[in-house]
Amino acid sequence: MSRRIVKYVELETFSHATESPEKVLEAALSLIPEELREKAKIKTQRLSGHYGNPITMFRIRVSGVGAQKTLERIANKMSQADKLQLRKELGRRLDRSMNLYLRLNKQAAYLGEARLTDEDPIRVKVSLGGRLTSVEEAVSALEELGLM
């Protein structure tokens, strides 16, 4: 691919008291190409839930060329049905700054898939670059990356 479309990809997820933090982190990292995982910036924050239960938040950021490869990996792991759903919902998933927001199922990610969900997800923020100024240009760029 000749032009760089993605500035960065940020993944954020929570490991609740009933989950293994290591497995939750592994699920999120599975969305990043293996050769880029060591370069990814991982921030971990320990939190407390409503009843004092432990929660671990993971925030992972991949920038530059690795960001585009990460989005391509996510696209390769998505089903055609999810890609169609994403196309239909693009208006609510893309903001004016050309940031794309996805919510991916943690369990599916752990099993090697990227599946859209709304429940307890891995939240993905994709900052699209390259002077994109309209939804049409974003659609074209996302098609080029295989996400649509």
| Pairing relationship of beta strands 6-15 and 121-128 according to DSSP bridges | antiparallel
Q: pLDDT of 16-37, one tens digit each?
A: 999 999 999 999 999 999 999 9
Render pLDDT for 56-66 as a digit per residue (tens, 0 to 9): 999 999 998 89
- The CATH topology of domain 6-144 is 50s Ribosomal Protein L5; Chain: A, (3.30.1440)
Arithmetic mean of pLDDT, 81-107: 95
The whole-model pTM stands at 0.93
Burial of residue 70 (CB within 10 Å: 0-12, 13-18, 19+) is buried
The residues with which 71 forms a beta bridge, in sequence order, are: none
Q: What is the pLDDT of residue 34?
A: 96
Q: Which string of DSSP letters, residue by residue, matches 56-103?
A: EEEEEEEETHHHHHHHHHHHHHS-HHHHHHHHHTHHHHB-TT-EEEEE
pLDDT bucket at 1, cuts 50 / 70 / 90: very low
User: What pLDDT score was predicted for residue 130?
Assistant: 67
Cα–Cα distances in Å, from 98 out to 8, 20, 47, 52?
A: 12, 34, 30, 37
pLDDT score of 84 = 96
Region 61-78: mean pLDDT is 96
Beta bridge partners of 122: 104
Size of the chain in residues: 148
Could you tell me the CA-to-CA distances from 78 to 63, 75, 109 in Å, in that order? 21, 5, 10
Segment 101-146, tens digit of pLDDT: 999 999 999 999 999 998 889 999 999 976 788 888 999 999 999 9
